[in-house]
Structure 1
């Protein structure tokens, strides 16, 4: 019975296998479940992830078969948490060999402090019926810039002592600095746990607003 079913559906089975290999080895999409990357990424965004950005891996494993390129500062990456294996998405802040620290929210890499410009205050809807005031800044450091934010009234790890990033590991931070389980809490991320680089938002829906589509975010580059 089973063999007959396999024979009669072998085309469909091959298609599923090819699709599975494609998603686990070439390209994938990643729904954004939390606000840890606000304002760059919003809950309800679905991002396109290039799994071949850095390494070729054996499908369904973390075994690296070949290196393609090295991660760079500022890359938005998906990875398996070194703490519990949960898939996360953050921004690479420091590379192997960098010395990184944070002093009262100010990021330092190799002794150079980030510059913060163009502040903007907004009301963030963190859950239905509950908002927090967020202050957003453009963070510039070592030729890279991104929009980051801090939340008023939220306690977070806003300072840490200098850390030299070892070879083969990366320090990652969320753009929403007061609401992100990043390297300040889960530790440095080994290269073999990197899944891929997120390039753009494929589609988006407002999960806090009755799942209304956010058409202006469709195709937005990161």
Structure 2
């Protein structure tokens, strides 16, 4: 092997590393789920792929920088800018309309008669705002009884969002796109 061949290999490997780094930084990333706040949608140690190029919409599952810790949280977007949020008798109201949340059914099935997943609240009570302000999101975990979310730490800045969950790839028996 001559020097020009070695240099060619080094250039090829360097270019591959640069491209892989750019894709990871700008387009996609993998995240490991920690905790049970999104159960049963996501379980502890699930591995997901997030995309960093999509627009975040209500009910998307996102990964964001935790406002109260040096880590990432995965939660569901409940309120986008302009939304009013209220929970009464375990029913979520977005902009005054009752909203179905089928992703909570499994958690509701485990409740005793008369038990609730979450207490009643309004957006104003939790954040001081009547509506989600521009540049912010209101998020909650699907496991509402244990989730530390906007009910505890308030609104999150949209610029703290790392990406939207697109794919669970581990465990292999639970591969799913979102």
Coarse TM-score class (shorter-chain normalised): 0.7 to 0.9
Q: Distance in 1 between matches of 2:123 and 2:63?
A: 25
Q: Distance in 2 between matches of 1:109 and 1:147?
A: 16
CA deviation after TM superposition for structure 1 residue 82, in Å: 2.5
Q: Distance in 2 between matches of 1:32 and 1:42?
A: 7
Match of 1:185 among 152, 158, 172: 152
CA offsets 1:69-88 (integer angstroms, 9 cap, x no match): xx211111111122334211
TM-score, normalization: structure 1? Answer: 0.63
CA offsets 1:24-80 (integer angstroms, 9 cap, x no match): 2110111111111111111221111111113xxxxxxxxxxxxxxxx2111111111
Pairwise CA RMSD of aligned residues?
Answer: 2.7
Match of 1:147 among 103, 106, 111: 103
SS in 1 for 2:102: strand
> Which one has a larger percent helix, Structure 1 or Structure 2?
2
Q: Aligned residues, how many?
A: 160
8 A Cα contact 1:81 1:186, kept in partner: no
| Gap change, CA 1:10 and 1:158, over 3 Å in 2 | farther
Q: Distance in 1 between matches of 2:116 and 2:88?
A: 15
8 A Cα contact 1:36 1:174, kept in partner: yes
SS in 2 for 1:24: helix
Q: Distance in 1 between matches of 2:117 and 2:66?
A: 19
> Which one has a larger percent strand, Structure 1 or Structure 2?
1
SS in 2 for 1:147: helix
Q: Distance in 1 between matches of 2:102 and 2:26?
A: 29
2:79 matches 1:94: yes
SS in 1 for 2:30: strand
Identify unmatched segments of 5+ residues in structure 2.
1-6, 125-130
The equivalent residue for 2:49 is: 48
| Gap change, CA 1:85 and 1:155, over 3 Å in 2 | farther
2:45 matches 1:39: no
TM-score, normalization: structure 2? Answer: 0.77
The equivalent residue for 1:172 is: 139
8 A Cα contact 1:37 1:90, kept in partner: yes
CA deviation after TM superposition for structure 1 residue 199, in Å: 1.3
SS in 2 for 1:39: coil
